[in-house]
Structure 1
Amino acid sequence: MSEIYDNIIRELTKPSERDKQRKVGPSELGDLCERCLAEKLLGVHDEEKTHPLAPMIGTAFHLYLENTIGLEGYLKETRVTVGEIEGYGEIRGTADGFDTTTGHVVDYKVLSKKKIKAFSSATFFDEDRNPEFYSDSLTEGQLKKYYYQMMLYGLGMENAGYEVNHTSLILFPRDCTVESVMSASHELCFKYNREAALNVLERANQIFKWATENRDNLEELDSHPGCYYCTFKR
C-alpha cells in the first residue's frame, strides 16, 4: 500500500468529535436495554471501535443536507438541552432540523433499504398520529429508540421557547444507485408527545441512581432481547 493511502485511512479512523463525547445524549437515552444504558451513563460501556463505513456515510449526508436545505424559518443543527439527570448533569443534543412555522422537529436517518422497509411496515398510527409498533425485537428496539430521541429533541425545542407539534423521521437509503430521492426516501411523522420525553428522562434518572449504588451488579439489570451488543458482544 502507498504512503498516501495509509495516511488517508489513518485520518478516517481518527476519533471523531462524537467519539470524544463523554456524556450520553438524546440518542442514547431511548435505549431499551437497561444494562447498556447504565453502562453508558457510568462511562464503562466497552464497545470496540471498528470504524464502520455506514456512520461515516450518514455523517457526510447530514452535512450535505445542512448545506443544501435553505427553507425559510427552518433551523438546522440546533443545540438543545432536553433535561437533567440528577448527579450526572444536563442532557444536551443537536436537532437536525426544526420548522419554526409549523413547530415540526425533523431527524434524518441514513439506513439500508431493508431497514427502511422494516421500519415503515412496523409502524401504525391512530387518528391522532400516536404510534404503535409491531415488529421483531431488534427492529422494535431501534425504532423506539429513534422515536424517543425525537420526543427528547421536541422537549429541547420547547425548553428553548418554541411550540412543538410534530416530529418526523426522514429516512434516506444509503445503498441506492439509480433510485430517485422522491421514490427512495420515506417519512415517519409522529405527533409530539411531551409525556413520552419526560418518561424517558425519569427512567434514565432511576437507572443512573440504581447503577451508581450497584456498580458491581449491573448484570442484574434487564438486557433487551433485541440488543445487538448484549446478544453478540458480551
Structure 2
Amino acid sequence: MNQPLAYVHPGAKIAKNVVIEPFTTIHNNVEIGEGTWIGSNVTIMEGARIGKNCTIFPGAVISAVPQDLKFGGEESLAIIGDNTTIRECVTINRGTIASGKTIIGNNCLIMAYAHIAHDCEIGNNAIIVNGVALAGHVKIGNFAVIGGLAAVHQFITIGDHAMISGGSLVRKDVPPYTKAAKEPLSYIGINSVGLRRRGYSTDKIREIQDIYRILYQKNYNTTQALSIIEADLEATSERDEIIQFIRSSSRGIMKGYTGAY
C-alpha cells in the first residue's frame, strides 16, 4: 500500500499487501487483512475488522455508527470475514450495546446498495442481492440468498440455505432449506436447486421435502406438525435443525402458501 491520495489513520492496522485506491478514507481502530483490495471513495470507520482477500468496491461505507436512536456512542465492531465481496455503495453499520458487533461471514457476496444494519449476523457463503435492506438484529444463515430489494424486519432469522424472492417483505422467520415468496411471505417449496449445487443427495432432499410437507401441506398446526415429524421421521441433523429453528423462533415462522396474494 502506497497511495498518497488515500487517507489512512496512523492507528489503523493494515496488512502490507492491502491495496487502497485513491480518495479512500480509513479511520482509527480499523484492521484489514492481507490481500484485500479497497476501491476508490470507500469510507471505513472506527471498529471495522476486515478479513483477508476481501474486495470492497467504490462508495461503500463500512462500520458507520448505527442508525439507532438508542445508540450512545459505545465502542462496537463491524466484522467482515475472509474472501467476502462488498459491491458499490453498500452500507454496513457497526453494532450497539445489545451485541457489540455486526458480523458478516466468509465468502459472502454483498451486492450494490444493500444496507446491513447494527447487530446483524450473516453466515458464510451468503448472497445479499442489490438493494436489500436488513434492519437491526437480523440473522441470516450460511448459503442463504436474499433477492434484490427485499426488506427484512428487525430481529428476523433466516435459516441456512433459504432463498428469499426479490422484492419480498420479510416479517416472519424463514426456516432453513426453504424458498419464500408471495405477499404475505409464504413457503413455496424447498431450495432443491441450491441444495443439489451444494452436494445434497436426492435422498436427503426428499427427506427435507417430507418434513416440510408435514409442516406446511397437511393442515396441521405447528405444534402438531412438529410432534408428527419427531415421532414419524428418522432423527437426522437436518430434521433436528429444522425442529430447533421453529421451536426457538420468537417471531413465528412464515405461513404456508394458500394460492392467494
Q: TM-score, normalised by structure 2?
A: 0.24
Give the number of the structure whose alpha-carbon radius of gyration is greater. Answer: 2
The structure whose RCO (Cα within 8 Å, separation 6+) is larger is 1
TM (norm. structure 1) is 0.25
Return the structure number with greater strand share: 2
